[in-house]
Amino acid sequence: MAAPITPALLYLDNVTVSFDGFRALNALSLAIDHTEMRAIIGPNGAGKTTMMDVITGKTRPNEGTALFNGSHDLTYLDEAAIAELGIGRKFQTPTVFEMHSVEDNLLLALKQKRSPLATLLSRRTAQERERIDALLERVRLTHQRHRRAGELSHGQKQWLEIGMLLAQQPKLLLIDEPAAGMTDQETADTADLLRDIAKTQAVVVVEHDMTFVRDLGVKVTCLHEGSVLAEGSLDAVSANERVIEVYLGR
Amino acid sequence: MKTQTLLDRQSTVVLSLLTVAAIVVPAMNGLAAPGSALHLSDHLVPLLGKYVCFALLALSVDLIWGFCGILSLGHGAFFALGGYAMGMYLMRQIGPRGVYADPVLPDFMVFLNWKELPWFWHGFEWFPFAALMALIVPGALSFIFGWLAFRSRVTGVYLSIITQAMTFALMLAFFRNDMGFGGNNGLTDFKDILGFPLQSASTRIVLFVLSVVALACGYLLCRWVVNSKFGKVLVAVRDAESRTRFLGYRVEHYKLAVFTLSAMLAGIAGALYVPQVGIINPGEFAPANSIEVVIWVAVGGRGTLAGAILGALLVNAGKTWFTGVLPEFWLFALGGLFVFVTLFMPHGIFGAARDLGKQVSRRLASRRPPESLSQAAE
């Protein structure tokens, strides 16, 4: 493996994505450190989801560099390879396997060999069971373990999906609107959980809910029209004139 | 785990019923005196054998459609290819007993004035080779087709349409005399298989029992696959494909593996079908045939395996009866059945029966003291 070009865990430089002439990302540059938590805010259409798509290999950028761990070029890898490298993604609407039990959802997410032959011949080990038990405990779904994931409440599904991310043992977690549709208590608990995760792994959170972002208490990046508008503490960003203009001008 | 025992019960029931069929049908045909109410006449044995082959075909479709969401409308092609492989063996077995009495060339080749056997007919005089080809040819075609389709992420209705196109193209190709598979008439006039005359009652009984055994093995194989972690990934792909990708699974590899396995099962079904019906022709590639298979699965209950078997047996028995009584209305009846099942029994007969069972047990549970209620509701 070549020597790391950058010390950052995730390094985006000059990334541009255009769809039929519309620039969803416009020379976006961003760096995330190991064990850093970053909140991404921005109005609708600012390019938050497209950015996640580029990082996870769903969308190929027209231009620019996307490096993971200093040496892996994300623009050449597919979703599965990027997931193997250690990037986990939580979708905006909770996406779990509704027909599977809560336990099986976690089982499928556990860091294990992913090839068809390996899964065909795999047997559940005691170690896997312990991992699942620990994860169920962490996302507070121990009592729901045999229920179908489709029967869970919205908030529980969000947590299950976060649990699935943790099961993958990623180095970087991309989390899209974790607080959407949650009660105030659930939102506060989610902030606690994410802060706890960020002690050992890097976390990027996309969020609209400013109370939640304030709760996280981390560095904030504000996107607008596909590039970074402002970066810094939430207070500094929300005091920024252009940010105010963008948010209130609409 | 609760679901585990439920599935095991299903497997037990399926296997017991198949065992019973493998014993009762030969007994009723061979032991019961002709004319008695219990006697099963000779012509019914291959008919039942045909249903069993269709059940195996339905099982193969349920494996990919019910568990992985791949709606193949061209599975009849794999069935027919397996059938042609067996048909070629049976053709070569005719030898000099054909109408033109050529020791090597099948009748249709003599008729077309061909001087020697085409290269791809070599080896088919040897049964193990033909049997292997009945697996390999459908497997290879499905592998290439699936590799191209799944790699390009062709899904949903687009995939269904190209599977239809595939079977239609094969039908047109096999209709041509130049293809070397008997053209329009296909392969027929078979005499014997491994030295046993195909017309004899005992050969037919053995073929029937072998079909039942193949169905039972196919069922167990599918059950094993869907119960494994591999099977859980298939369901994950069916329900949330992109989520599965972001978890790090190469969805196209999974689809390709299960599609190829399914095509090989269909090939086995076709190979067992041909000696029992005595003919294979390009009509087996007709797009409507493949669609009919999907209807069997839908009627029986998609994603249940046992439902696919049930659906294939019931619809085909219905077809035999209906085409005897009101032949011109069969297609209307089939269409009506499909609409009815889609609207009122979205999980098919099997699912409807299961829901009914659940309702009954819930009723019973509500009469019991409340502490047992939560368990029963689960």
> So where are chain B's domains?
2-346
How many contacts does A have with B, using Cβ atoms within 8 A?
78
Q: What is the pLDDT of residues B113-133, one digit of tens each?
A: 999 999 999 999 999 999 999
**CA distances (Å), origin B378, targets A60, B2, B37, B289, B315:** 45, 9, 46, 40, 33
Position with higher pLDDT, A230 vs A3: A230
Least confident of A48-52, A90-94, B119-123, B166-170: A90-94
Mean pLDDT (chain A, rounded): 91
Query: Which residues on chain A are in Cβ contact (under 8 Å) with B247?
Result: 83, 108-109, 114, 164, 168
Could you tell me where the DSSP H helices lie in chain B?
2-30, 44-68, 75-94, 107-111, 127-151, 156-175, 201-227, 229-239, 241-246, 251-277, 287-300, 306-325, 330-344, 348-367, 373-377
Compute how many other C-beta atoms are within 10 angstroms of the C-beta atom of residue B273: 27
Task: Please give the pLDDT value at position B318.
Answer: 94
- Chain A residues 101-160 within an 8 A CB cutoff of chain B: 101, 104, 107-109, 114-116, 119-122, 146
Whether residue A109 is predicted with pLDDT greater than 90 in this model: the reply is: yes
At residue B108, the pLDDT reads: 94
Distance from CA of B121 to the nearest CA of A (A): 34
Per-residue confidence (pLDDT) for residue B365, from 0 to 100? 81
Q: Do B242 and A83 touch (CB under 8 A)?
A: no
Residue A38: what pLDDT?
Answer: 96
pLDDT given for residue B197 in this prediction: 96
> Residue B230 and residue A108: Cβ atoms within 8 Å?
no
Give the minimum alpha-carbon distance from A243 to chain B in angstroms, rounded to a whole number: 32
The predicted pLDDT at position A180 comes to 84
Contact in structure between A113 and A119 (CB atoms under 8 Å): yes
Residue with tokens 């003291």: B369
Mean pLDDT over A213-229 rounds to: 92
Average pLDDT over residues A72-88: 94
Provide the 10 A C-beta neighbour count for residue A103: 21
Q: Which of B96, B42, B74, B105 is nearest to B276 (CA)?
A: B42
CATH 1.10.3720.10 is right for the domain spanning A10-96+169-248 = no
Which residue in B225, B235, B378 is closest to A100 by CB distance?
B235
Q: Which residue of A has its CA nearest to B223?
A: A120
Q: Which residue ranges in chain B fall short of pLDDT 70?
A: 1-7, 368-378
* pLDDT value for B376: 42
Asked whether the predicted pLDDT for residue A44 surpasses 90, the reply is: no
pLDDT of res. B181? 96
Q: Provide the pLDDT for residue B369.
A: 55
